Structure 1
Amino acid sequence: MHTLTPVLTDNWDADRSWTIESYEARGGYGALKTALGMSQDDIITAVKDSGLRGRGGAGFPTGMKWGFIPQDNPNPKYLVVNADESEPGTCKDIPLMMASPHTLVEGVIISSYAIRANTAFIYVRGEVLHVIRRLQKAVQDAYLAGHLGKNIHGSGYDLDLVVHAGAGAYICGEETALLDSLEGRRGQPRLRPPFPAVAGLYASPTVVNNVESIASVPSIIANGAEWFSSMGTERSKGYGIFSLSGHVTRPGQYEAPLGITLRTLIDLAGGMREGHELKFWTPGGSSTPLLTAEHLDIPLDFEGVGAAGSMLGTRAIQLFDETTCVVRAVLRWTEFYKHESCGKCTPCREGTWWLVQTLSKIEHGGGTAEGIEADLDQLLDQCDNILGRAFCALGDGATSPISSSIQYFRDEFLEHASNGGCPFDHAASTLFAPVGAA
């Protein structure tokens, strides 16, 4: 096993990798033909045995999720792919769909066959029009090649695949809000139970999976569950795309086994920008608790990151050096969550507004050195009143960077008061600083 394991990204360097001709030339849709010769239950068993866990953040076992679909329910079954990637720092699904949309399409067909669904949807963030067009062309080509439609390759299995453009709300990344949006309603989380596996899209049994989860299925069918589970760690199997951004020399997508360390990834990315050192980072996007340089050697799997007090999430690793004001960074993220709150529940709707007010006051040096201690206590109290009390995970995610930044950088918050404002030179910390900036 090598440091990098290009599977999903293996064909990204091919000429016109997004075309069906290029995809099939490298063995694409071979796994589909294998799957159509298997029983549906055997495919679900293979995905279970592989240890594939959801790549959208929660890490729930994918095969187990498929197994929850009640096959005795007379309603149609649906597969919905969550491609509403929109969390700050998260940028793995969009490049995957741009570079190799047929990897996802093949995964959708195999997964739909496994759960006995005859209609599937890919729900894509509406702003990424270029991705939507590329997916639509890929789906059209798959129909023309006989991979979609009626009696696929003489198997007797029918499947229609719809690419649906979302309405531009971050909350639609939450699976039940996505289902409401897909049905034409305002995207807001649903009360559970019932869970989507029992009453999801159109009150019918539904599986909702992330793009990367579904795109991983063809490789499991082609190479076997044991091959997939040979990578990663004991409880976090397989490979994943790690998205490095921020103050690193070569930002980008690095596909590696789960359990790799950030130190190794930074080395692969050419290190931090010259003359600077890592200060803090997010392991899974802006909704996960911050970690610091002391966590460089923790294994980047669900258990390792969890033991460090954070979450692996979507493996959206944002790296910040010593020129970055942690208060300013956290304020910017909190402003995002305030704006994107759907307003359905009071803790999130009101709480994120108050979090922004208090953080903004601290960032701009409001109050006294003595008073800021009270402000920090108020911030933590606000976080405590949101955490675990919001209708969905958006509220919890909004509190994570705040509570963790106070844990690791309390002195920096206090410095804002004693300094009468932010002590950092923001021009020096920007990712687009002029050449020669510190």
Structure 2
Amino acid sequence: MTAQPVDPLAGDAEITALLDREQTRRRGSLQMVAAESAASAAVRAAVGSIFADKYAEGYPGHRYHGGVEVVDEVEQLAIDRARTLFGADYVNVQPLSWALANFAVYAAFSQPGDQVLSLSLKHGGHQSHGSRANLSGRWFSVVNYGVRHDTERIDYNQIRELALLHRPRILVAGGTSYSRSWDFAAMRTIADEADCILWVDAAHLAGLVVGGVLESPVPYADVVTVATNKVMRGPRGGLLLARAEHAGALGRAVYPFLQGAPAMHAIAAKAVAFAECRLPAYAEYARAVADNAAGLAAELDARGLRTVSGGTDTHIGVVEVSSLGISGREAARRLAAARIVVDKAVTPYDEAPIAEGSAIRFGSAVLASDGLRPDSMAAIADLMVQAMRTDDPMRHAHLARDVAAIGGDGPTGER
């Protein structure tokens, strides 16, 4: 008789109940938070593996602790796979998070008080690029560039003028709500003219880069930071890619300056994700991510909801909802009542308070993982608009059933 698998959480009723609730929440809903994706079963297995027990401060061949023979090979495998995947000279897989990878860039190339030039938070940037609520905005002198009023796209002439005027130590390309591709060659030229480090924060872009949808920033940047848990569908964690001459500075910035022992289970899971990113199925998924986002933006536009910059080249869409007479926060609440999960957002020149916003931000990665393709976007747009137009709980309950009917055959409801 074949032994039945044992649930290791069977003895913890409280956590098991919470896991079941999360599965229920996700099953039959549309998960459209731009920062989220759906890790594979293999990635999840590596995260929950025996490597979670191992301390391994230092780098392969130069550890503080003993018994590191196997995890040295694990980390080197992850490094080698990332180097092949991205074509980078230097790879560091140890950052415990994307934010820590970002802070490693500051630690490697600047001192407190140095100037940094980055995309404004309201125009799509990220808080780790200089928000006053974040360490970056308190320790560094941050100047922001923005998008054009007319196109809502990056103004490279403005960036050049600001770079030559302020001579920043670091020029940052990338953001968290900017939906268009970047001209990395132009950013490289500006960085060379201003004699500064070009850092590309590719947290939201890397998954589409390795899927062949977007141009890689690696040939242009001094350093690239990556969130392995976003579109890439890996574990929560960060990744550094850089030119060879920056290896020493970045290595010391990660360890011992910012963090101690790496999470070896996460590094094993990163290695798994890097291998999965080279499979033909991943390229098909990445193409679906971009096509779903573009299709949904177009469908919402056809229903009278303007997408910032007129569309998207990525998995992100920022959609203005003020024409419905509601804020972005209220729109997100109404969508959640119909089991459509998005974030509130601001538009580049938004006059609404940041806490309310005039827009929502959606992401298409989980939709693609769940097997949904562009031919489903019209139906999703219809449901979104209907949900945002009403505050009737009964109507939302009815729409939630329609949302569940759209479904998908992906893994997001799995434990």
Q: Name the TM tier (shorter chain).
A: under 0.3
What TM-score results when the alignment is normalised by the length of structure 1? Answer: 0.27
More RCO (CA 8 Å, sep 6+):
2
What TM-score results when the alignment is normalised by the length of structure 2? Answer: 0.28
